[in-house]
Structure 1
Amino acid sequence: MGPYDVYGPAFLEGYNFQWTTNVMQFHLQDSIQLAQGLTLHAGFKSMTATTSGGAQYNNADWTGADALPNGSLTASQAFLPHVNLDWHINRHHEIYVDVAENMRAYEVSAYGVANSVYSVQDQATFQAQKKSLEPSKAWVYLGGYRYTSKYLQANATVYHASLIHPILAAAVGSLTNPVSQVIDFGHISMTGANGDITVTPIDGLSISNNLSYNKGMYDRNVDTVGGYYALAGKNIVNYPAWMYKAAIAYSWKGMTAHFDANYYSRHYYSFMNDTSIGGYWLANAGAQYRFGKLSVLKDVTASFNVYNLFNTKYISMMGENDNPAVGDYQSMERGAVREFFGTISASF
């Protein structure tokens, strides 16, 4: 018994979803030392993931659908290889290469939410899309260099990822009556690089910088019930191409203080890239002091942190009601204003 059973008339229950997912996975890997400091890791995994369920209740007056999605989906792949080559040239220098294929089990989500075929508007759409649906897979190729010493840690990585049959949700229809449709985008390419440097000039002081670039593009055009869209060559949505982070932290005895500044470049909102939000900076700062043991209390710690230090106005989330092919469906959320957090903790 509960509030829905006792006070049911006072609440609106538009729908109710429930799933059962069974995953079977086998993994085999071995490591071979080819030479001094040079190691080859190789293996594969097999995976089968079956999800059954969906809508257990539907209020047709609220959802506008005679029946909401319910059914079974299976993602299966017998051979998903992974190869890694790691060369420790000496105690400071390391080079590595990694190649792997992965598969994603079908996601589950309730009516009208997220990138799942279970989120489409009715059972008929679910059945129609299920016929042509294939599980998402990805090939990832990565190579990098790492340097480690007492005063300097540096890492540089380049990568390329091929996403095959990525399943994403899109909003079609009008601004006042958007409809969620799950689309197989065919193929997406992501190529990027990441660089990180951390300097520790004196004990307790750490200064780090991280810069990353990702060029994500749709490789194929898409034909949907909302129309045909020439997506080939367009940038992926909701993801900045450039990200940068600078951070400084200092610890002395029981005290620790930190400051970090983060930059996020332009995010595209529509799949056709005609709407977007500009880049922005976001900074945070804070301090913490560990008092240790005080009377019967242990590990007494006081901290104070400021989020969004400069009160930047920015969009923290977009596309939570799915991204449109073109235009602006006003599916965005403003980021939090400057916030202060103070905490005192202890253990017994």
Structure 2
Amino acid sequence: MRLTRLLSTSALIALGTLPAFAAPTSSTDAKKPAAKAETQIMAPSMMGNTSPTDYHEEHVTVHAQHRYFDGVTRNAVGGGLMTKQDSAKSVSAVSRDFISKQVPGSDPMQLISLLPGANVTATDAMGLTGSSMSLRGMDQTQVGFTLEGFPINDIGNYAVYSQEIADPENLRTVSMAQGSADLDSPHLSSTGGVVDMYMVDPAMKKGGSFDVSYGSYNATRGFLRLDTGKIGNTNLRGYFSGSYASEDRFNTDYTNRKLHAETKFVNDWGNGNRISLAIIGNRLYNYLTRNVSMASWNQYGLGVKNASDPKGLPNTQWDSNFNPSASDGGASYYKLHQNPFTNIYTSAPSTFHLSDHLTLTETPYFWYGEGNGGSAYNTNLSKMQWGKQSLTASLNGKSSSGLLYNPSTSTTYRPGNVAKLTLTTGANRLMVGYWFEYSKQLQTSPYTGIGADGNPWNVWAAGPNAVLSNGQTYQYRSTLTQTRVHTMFIGDTLSLLNNKLTIDAGFKYAIVMRSGHNFLPDTSTGPYINKSWQQPLPTAAIRYQLDAENQFFISAATNFRMPTNAALYDAGNYNTTTNSYSTRANVNQNTEISISEEAGYRYTGHTIMGSVTYFHYNFTNRLFNQTQCLDAQCNNFYTTSLNGGGQTTNGVDAEIGTRPIFYHLRPYASFEYLDSRLGSNLAGTSTKGGFDYLPTKGKVAPEAPHYQAAFNLDYDDGHLFGGYNVKYVSKQYSTFMNDQSIRGYVLMNANIGYRFADVGFLKAPNVRVNFSNLTDHAYLGFVKGIQGNANTTTGINGRTIKGSTPTYSIAAPFSAIASVSAGF
């Protein structure tokens, strides 16, 4: 590794000093003829190609005569919803032609919502509150997300906060592999596939672009990007961009805000040598969005805004949203449910050709995040439980009962690096690599006061805090988790018959070590926890290129998902009756494993592209959280992480799209059939008289709709442009017992705009309007709180198992957002 570090350091130092030997074509240069109309059959991508330096624009056949400042070519297949793929597994992707015409500020999940397998629900049009997603029935915590080659999933619970990732104006493509991760994918949670996001490169010429938007719910957004062009006599170039967005939450008094900045620098030289540096900064000033039960949705729908609403419901009966009134709302006052967050990401993916046959690729990165989710509780400071001890506490000199602010805060430091060497010798390519990461995550939950106006003293709960009589700051959670990842991988690709037949085989071995320190007293595991997991992950694939247009592939892969860090710790309120915390650790859990097989066919013609893939999964040790009752009435209970047993999934994905066929139209359609079944009877809640299991074997898995279908029609004649899309998602179960579900729905969106000729220094100024949820359909879009059973059920052994309440997210209503943009 010493040589690797030296090469990495030298590369970064050289970022601004290396001379230019070959200047690549700028992706933003307009009105330049395309070099080629077709591409020849060439060796396909290897099974490890997550790094941005592995993904080239040349992978896409381009017929466009020129490219506008926003990346639109007017010739991308399906309006930018399909790109040419050569991997021996299922991959779908969106490109600039589609991204640039969507709602300003759209998050990456919204951008891929029409692709096969992607079940996405947004709670606002502009992506300020984030989206929810499942892929082939696996939720987003089981899908690995990368940006510029580094992992985006939270290191503790693997959640993806899509509103924090990137401005869509700077995204070149969003690629989704529905079945498996690449060998070099830096993930601990990719049993359900991966989503890789790649940023646009800086332009070779000075310039930039801007757009401003305004629309429904006082939605306001501005974006500005400045490109340096080539600096001096080098290929070094960069850009700086920033955006600000705000939007009111429907039927509430909330205003969500986002401040975002990005920069990227690139230098390339010689035969494919390249170094780059991307830095992304994000600051959210958001409010939490309440998830609702089926009962509250049926009664209140979208909720009421105030007591004078025609429905006449007082604020105390609010259920779909947090209350706008401090005096009436109490703990439900919306300013006590804030969600501030700060993120800084940096990545430096680089490639060095050490010889004609040997290439080194490195992706060093650093991930910093700090934020919380707020809540409030009535607390009696004169009687506090600190483990087994009953103590008093004081807050700013007072010790009495009252409403206190209690946010859950996480602070993460996460450096890492993915390094790999690729040796090409004739028809064979050998890749060896190593991913290392060392993260620290501090998770706390102190209590602080609330002012007379109903606002918390400090939204970060930085102080003053409630302090116990023993001098300890009172918290319901206080942990420090250190995670070390050592992952070695090797892959070999053999190309035969003039690159028509390609055989891939790979092996990854992951070693993950977690060291935990629980600062709460009297926990079941003690203050220190050390746990390690080792997981071998073999892969294999075959691709046969029948001719330049027809391709067949078959693949098999093994992926894994680590238990979350919450599984290591007791937390919450201490119950003196049961002598335990309300959340219990479950340290001895195995990793969740998926074994996936795919067989597919692709057609890549001059005008039409299409693919169809059959897939099969076997899951073992599926991890989920469950409430366990300790008595028949469930007056005493705890929550813990459990092993959900096995699951089997079968299905078919298909998509088809065209280049302009007539009247500048480019249609696209996708479809998925999914049958995901539980293979085990899940543990139910403990009841008076013993333990039992829910009869779930053979039931349909939650968040796994049987059918999804999407259609998009894009029109662009160079001046007038527009698009219309429709997405159908069938019924989704919210419990493992299939005793509660949300209905299927149809969602329609549209956009229309006009692109003017250049005006002075402005390039292709245009105006457009985006319409979301055209029919203003009010619906529950996604299951947020999966439960074992919603209704009281008799277990396998005849005991009564009490039901729990699933929760759901409310999908965004109709909105219209107008935008003006231009390059310069």
Q: Does 1:47 align with 2:510?
A: yes
Which structure 2 residues correspond to residues 214-233 of structure 1 after superposition, within 5 A?
Answer: 214-226=674-686, 227-233=692-698
State whether residues 476 and 571 of structure 2, in contact with CA within 8 Å, keep that contact through their aligned partners in structure 1: no
Which structure 2 residues correspond to residues 142-221 of structure 1 after superposition, within 5 A?
Answer: 142-173=598-629, 179-200=638-659, 201-202=661-662, 204-221=664-681
Structure-1 residue corresponding to 2:561: 104
Question: What per-residue deviation string (whole Å, max 9, x for no partner) do you get for residues 207-243 of structure 1?
Answer: 1111101111110112344441111101101221110
* Rg (Cα) greater in structure: 2
Q: Does 1:94 align with 2:551?
A: yes
Residue identity (%): 20
In structure 2, which of residues 584, 587, 594 is the aligned counterpart of residue 138 of structure 1? 594
Q: Which moved more, 1:220-229 or 1:169-178?
A: 169-178
Look up the equivalent residue of 1:334 and give its one-letter code: I
Ranked by relative contact order (alpha carbons within 8 Å, sequence separation 6 or more), the top structure is 2
State whether residues 120 and 182 of structure 1, in contact with CA within 8 Å, keep that contact through their aligned partners in structure 2: no
Deviation at 1:86, TM superposition (A): 0.6
In structure 2, which of residues 772, 785, 789 is the aligned counterpart of residue 325 of structure 1? 789
Q: Which moved more, 1:307-316 or 1:85-94?
A: 307-316
CA distance in structure 1 between the partners assigned to 2:638 and 2:656 by the alignment: 45
CA 168–93 in structure 1, closer or farther in 2 if over 3 Å, else same: same
In structure 2, which of residues 534, 537, 555 is the aligned counterpart of residue 76 of structure 1? 534
Q: Does 1:24 align with 2:481?
A: no
CA 221–330 in structure 1, closer or farther in 2 if over 3 Å, else same: closer
State whether residues 755 and 766 of structure 2, in contact with CA within 8 Å, keep that contact through their aligned partners in structure 1: yes
Unaligned runs of 5+ in 1: 110-115
In structure 2, which of residues 719, 738, 741 is the aligned counterpart of residue 273 of structure 1? 738
Deviation at 1:202, TM superposition (A): 3.1
Look up the equivalent residue of 1:71 and give its one-letter code: I
CA distance in structure 1 between the partners assigned to 2:613 and 2:478 by the alignment: 45
Q: Secondary structure at the match of 1:223?
A: coil
Equivalent residue pairs, number: 332
Structure-1 residue corresponding to 2:721: 256
Look up the equivalent residue of 1:51 and give its one-letter code: R
Q: Which moved more, 1:144-153 or 1:289-298?
A: 289-298
Structure-2 residue corresponding to 1:306: 771
Q: Which moved more, 1:205-214 or 1:44-53?
A: 44-53
CA distance in structure 2 between the partners assigned to 1:54 and 1:300 by the alignment: 56
Higher strand share: 1
Deviation at 1:344, TM superposition (A): 3.1
CA distance in structure 1 between the partners assigned to 2:528 and 2:819 by the alignment: 45
Look up the equivalent residue of 2:751 and give its one-letter code: G
CA distance in structure 2 between the partners assigned to 1:203 and 1:28 by the alignment: 49
Structure-2 residue corresponding to 1:38: 501
State whether residues 69 and 118 of structure 1, in contact with CA within 8 Å, keep that contact through their aligned partners in structure 2: no
State whether residues 272 and 325 of structure 1, in contact with CA within 8 Å, keep that contact through their aligned partners in structure 2: yes
Q: Which moved more, 1:338-347 or 1:163-172?
A: 338-347
State whether residues 172 and 325 of structure 1, in contact with CA within 8 Å, keep that contact through their aligned partners in structure 2: no
State whether residues 120 and 181 of structure 1, in contact with CA within 8 Å, keep that contact through their aligned partners in structure 2: no
Structure-1 residue corresponding to 2:203: none
State whether residues 27 and 46 of structure 1, in contact with CA within 8 Å, keep that contact through their aligned partners in structure 2: yes
State whether residues 720 and 753 of structure 2, in contact with CA within 8 Å, keep that contact through their aligned partners in structure 1: yes
CA 17–238 in structure 1, closer or farther in 2 if over 3 Å, else same: farther
CA 66–187 in structure 1, closer or farther in 2 if over 3 Å, else same: closer
- TM (normalized to structure 1)? 0.82
CA distance in structure 2 between the partners assigned to 1:202 and 1:338 by the alignment: 31
Question: What per-residue deviation string (whole Å, max 9, x for no partner) do you get for residues 95-143 of structure 1?
Answer: 000111112233345xxxxxx565876669644x223x10111110000
State whether residues 69 and 126 of structure 1, in contact with CA within 8 Å, keep that contact through their aligned partners in structure 2: no
State whether residues 479 and 517 of structure 2, in contact with CA within 8 Å, keep that contact through their aligned partners in structure 1: yes
CA distance in structure 1 between the partners assigned to 2:713 and 2:637 by the alignment: 45
State whether residues 545 and 552 of structure 2, in contact with CA within 8 Å, keep that contact through their aligned partners in structure 1: yes
Q: Secondary structure at the match of 2:693?
A: strand
CA distance in structure 2 between the partners assigned to 1:20 and 1:246 by the alignment: 45
CA 310–32 in structure 1, closer or farther in 2 if over 3 Å, else same: same
CA 287–53 in structure 1, closer or farther in 2 if over 3 Å, else same: farther
| Superposed CA RMSD | 3.4
Question: What per-residue deviation string (whole Å, max 9, x for no partner) do you get for residues 189-220 of structure 1?
Answer: 11111111213323742111111011111101
Look up the equivalent residue of 1:88 and give its one-letter code: Q
Look up the equivalent residue of 1:170 and give its one-letter code: Q
Look up the equivalent residue of 2:558 and give its one-letter code: E
Look up the equivalent residue of 1:75 and give its one-letter code: W
Unaligned runs of 5+ in 2: 1-457, 467-473, 573-579, 687-691, 792-803
Deviation at 1:315, TM superposition (A): 0.8
Q: Secondary structure at the match of 2:558?
A: strand
Q: Secondary structure at the match of 1:4?
A: coil
CA 118–254 in structure 1, closer or farther in 2 if over 3 Å, else same: farther
In structure 2, which of residues 456, 460, 477 is the aligned counterpart of residue 15 of structure 1? 477
Q: Secondary structure at the match of 2:542?
A: strand
CA 233–5 in structure 1, closer or farther in 2 if over 3 Å, else same: closer
Deviation at 1:13, TM superposition (A): 6.2
Deviation at 1:176, TM superposition (A): 9.6
Deviation at 1:323, TM superposition (A): 2.0
CA distance in structure 1 between the partners assigned to 2:480 and 2:821 by the alignment: 38
Look up the equivalent residue of 2:488 and give its one-letter code: F
CA distance in structure 1 between the partners assigned to 2:778 and 2:634 by the alignment: 25
State whether residues 782 and 810 of structure 2, in contact with CA within 8 Å, keep that contact through their aligned partners in structure 1: yes
CA distance in structure 1 between the partners assigned to 2:593 and 2:816 by the alignment: 42
In structure 2, which of residues 706, 715, 718 is the aligned counterpart of residue 241 of structure 1? 706
State whether residues 787 and 806 of structure 2, in contact with CA within 8 Å, keep that contact through their aligned partners in structure 1: no
Q: Which moved more, 1:49-58 or 1:205-214?
A: 49-58
State whether residues 67 and 123 of structure 1, in contact with CA within 8 Å, keep that contact through their aligned partners in structure 2: no
Look up the equivalent residue of 2:666 and give its one-letter code: S
Deviation at 1:265, TM superposition (A): 0.6
CA distance in structure 2 between the partners assigned to 1:68 and 1:297 by the alignment: 65
State whether residues 784 and 809 of structure 2, in contact with CA within 8 Å, keep that contact through their aligned partners in structure 1: no
Q: Secondary structure at the match of 1:81?
A: strand
CA distance in structure 2 between the partners assigned to 1:249 and 1:295 by the alignment: 29
Q: Secondary structure at the match of 1:229?
A: coil
Structure-1 residue corresponding to 2:120: none
State whether residues 183 and 224 of structure 1, in contact with CA within 8 Å, keep that contact through their aligned partners in structure 2: no
Deviation at 1:70, TM superposition (A): 7.0
State whether residues 262 and 283 of structure 1, in contact with CA within 8 Å, keep that contact through their aligned partners in structure 2: yes
CA distance in structure 2 between the partners assigned to 1:329 and 1:97 by the alignment: 41
State whether residues 305 and 340 of structure 1, in contact with CA within 8 Å, keep that contact through their aligned partners in structure 2: yes
Look up the equivalent residue of 1:145 and give its one-letter code: Y
CA distance in structure 2 between the partners assigned to 1:159 and 1:152 by the alignment: 23
State whether residues 147 and 154 of structure 1, in contact with CA within 8 Å, keep that contact through their aligned partners in structure 2: yes
Question: What per-residue deviation string (whole Å, max 9, x for no partner) do you get for residues 274-325 of structure 1?
Answer: 11111111111113444575555556453321111111121123233x4242
Q: Secondary structure at the match of 1:319?
A: strand
CA 299–172 in structure 1, closer or farther in 2 if over 3 Å, else same: farther
CA 294–92 in structure 1, closer or farther in 2 if over 3 Å, else same: same
CA 181–40 in structure 1, closer or farther in 2 if over 3 Å, else same: same
State whether residues 171 and 181 of structure 1, in contact with CA within 8 Å, keep that contact through their aligned partners in structure 2: yes
CA 193–46 in structure 1, closer or farther in 2 if over 3 Å, else same: same
CA 68–333 in structure 1, closer or farther in 2 if over 3 Å, else same: farther
CA distance in structure 1 between the partners assigned to 2:640 and 2:649 by the alignment: 24
CA distance in structure 2 between the partners assigned to 1:271 and 1:333 by the alignment: 18
State whether residues 501 and 544 of structure 2, in contact with CA within 8 Å, keep that contact through their aligned partners in structure 1: yes
Deviation at 1:187, TM superposition (A): 0.9
